Amino acid sequence: MKNFGSSSMKPGLIFFNCSTKISCFMSTFIFLAVKYIMNPLMLHLCYFTALSLLGYFLLSVTKPRTHSTDPKTFDVFFTSVSAATDSSMGTVEMEVFSNSQLIIMTILMLAGGEVFMSMLELFFIKSKLPKHNDHLLITPSSKPTKSVEQIELNSICCSEKTDHISFDNKNNKNKNNNTILKHNSIRYLCYVVLGYFLIVHVGGLCLVLWYISLIPSAKHVLEQKGLQAETFSLFTIVSTFSNCGFVPTNENMIVFKENSGLLLLLIPQVLLGNTLYPACLRFAIWVLKKITKREECDYLLKNYREIGYDHLLSRSRSCFLAITVFGFIIVQLVIFCSLEWNSEAMDDLNFYQKLVASLFEVVNSRHTGESVLDLSIISPAILVLFVVM
């Protein structure tokens, strides 16, 4: 009976052992898969893939402006990927898309922009911080106090040991206070970046809308093309800030080459969303420090490396970056004007319009790719300059 009972338990034990091994294998597999996906490269790849597929689905279910020019399936997917990755390569004329599709593309460009992506990363870091830091503050701990009391009760004079304990407690308190300040500074930086992002977009949108409402020629262009002023302004501001380069017109910005005011409003958007972003971010934190006197601002300016935000640079690097950006713009502007001032591309423009159009073309050649001149009739030397820049 004993042997029979022991033999009857073996299948159950075998099944239990097998199920345990399978569970361990599955747990290990899931852990490795999550660890692999949490790699920054894989996170970016999954993010842009999901964003592109979502954009493709939304663009597919919404109708274009005219049914006679329905874009092909692959063209829609290509447009979605171009908008999400801010590459602005299109196989479909922009005026084919309806108002709802333009709004979808605006969201894709916004979500794929460099500043927005870095802001998401910053908020992800913020979410991993302790929600309450008060418990990190170290007051004289109970354990050292107890030991000192025992020493006093036992009439043992250990002044050196007591001083050593007090010194350690003070160091631990300073260390944890610095940790709290670092965490608070990261949280503060999140809101600074968010405020920068919103102010630039909302301010740019209001200025472009205001310009279109005041200048009849710009409003007339939109009316001819059947574009709503609000959609055009939002689309163009987001595209310019994200350095995508999409414009809701087939001719890009060529139809607005005589609207110098509009071009001047868009030039800062190009720079604020790209190469001048680190310098402007540091300047914004410096201004907030002068106004609010918050210690988080001082910590961010002095301990930028410890924050872990790649766009927060030192004072010297920010200055050198700004000097480099404006230096390249000036050099490129001088070369462009010297070769293209009297060219066919500049016909029908006065001195002021030529200067602004040249500046717009030069700035965008290094960033968004928006064009106010016909590149097909620009001299090959300038095209080579654009490629180099």
pLDDT digits (tens, 9 = 90+) for 6-29: 444 455 545 445 555 555 555 555
DSSP state of 90: -
Looking at the domain assignment, is residue 202 inside a domain?
Answer: yes
Q: 3-state DSSP: the chain helix, strand, coil percent, rounded to 5?
A: 75, 0, 25
Res. 72 pLDDT band, cuts 50 70 90: confident
pLDDT for 176 equals 65
Instruction: Tell whether the model's pLDDT for residue 36 goes beyond 80.
Output: no
Looking at the domain assignment, is residue 270 inside a domain?
Answer: yes
Which pair of structure tokens corresponds to residue 276? 């001048």
Phi-psi region of 252 (alpha: psi -120 to 50; beta: other; left: phi over 0): left
Instruction: Tell whether the model's pLDDT for residue 237 goes beyond 60.
Output: yes
| Mean pLDDT, the chain, whole residue set | 81
pLDDT for 37 equals 54
pLDDT, tens digit (0-9, with 9 covering 90-100), for 200-223: 999 999 999 999 999 999 999 999
Mean pLDDT of 343-368: 89
pLDDT for 108 equals 94
Which pair of structure tokens corresponds to residue 86? 């801010």
Mapped onto helix, strand or coil, the DSSP state of residue 291 is helix
Amino acid occupying residue 284: A
pLDDT for 126 equals 84
Q: Give the integer Cα–Cα distance in Å for 32 and 29.
A: 5
- Determine phi and psi for 259, rounding to 5 degrees: -95, 75
Q: Give the integer Cα–Cα distance in Å for 294 and 284.
A: 13
Contact indicator for 101, 248 with CB cutoff of 8 Å: no
Instruction: Tell whether the model's pLDDT for residue 82 goes beyond 70.
Output: yes
Q: Give the integer Cα–Cα distance in Å for 194 and 2.
A: 74
Which pair of structure tokens corresponds to residue 282? 């540091």
Looking at the domain assignment, is residue 55 inside a domain?
Answer: no
Res. 342 pLDDT band, cuts 50 70 90: confident
Looking at the domain assignment, is residue 52 inside a domain?
Answer: no
pLDDT for 308 equals 84
- Determine phi and psi for 141, rounding to 5 degrees: -70, 160
- Determine phi and psi for 130, rounding to 5 degrees: -60, 140
Considering its fold, how many domains does the chain have in total? 1
220 lies in which domain range?
115-388
Q: Measuring CA to CA, how many Å separate 241 from each of 96, 279, 367?
A: 23, 15, 10
pLDDT, tens digit (0-9, with 9 covering 90-100), for 276-333: 999 999 999 999 999 998 898 999 999 888 888 889 999 999 999 999 999 999 999 9
pLDDT for 66 equals 74
**Report for 63-72, 135-144, 263-272: range of highest mean pLDDT:** 263-272
Q: Measuring CA to CA, how many Å separate 334 from each of 22, 62, 339, 359, 379?
A: 70, 46, 9, 10, 15
Looking at the domain assignment, is residue 17 inside a domain?
Answer: no
pLDDT for 232 equals 95
Phi-psi region of 349 (alpha: psi -120 to 50; beta: other; left: phi over 0): beta
Amino acid occupying residue 315: R
Looking at the domain assignment, is residue 92 inside a domain?
Answer: no
pLDDT for 6 equals 46
pLDDT for 375 equals 84
Looking at the domain assignment, is residue 6 inside a domain?
Answer: no
Q: Measuring CA to CA, how many Å separate 193 from each of 103, 219, 320, 334?
A: 24, 33, 21, 34
pLDDT for 181 equals 87
The structure tokens 């960033």 sit at 367
| CA dihedral for 154, 155, 158, 163, sign (positive or negative) | positive
Q: Give the integer Cα–Cα distance in Å for 249 and 97.
A: 10
Res. 378 pLDDT band, cuts 50 70 90: confident
pLDDT for 23 equals 53
Annotate 55-68 with b (16+ C-beta within 10 A) or e (fewer). bbebbeeeebbeee
Q: Give the integer Cα–Cα distance in Å for 232 and 384.
A: 31
Q: Which of the two residues, 175 and 198, has the higher pLDDT score?
A: 198
Q: What is the pTM of this model?
A: 0.79
Instruction: Tell whether the model's pLDDT for residue 132 goes beyond 70.
Output: no
pLDDT for 157 equals 47
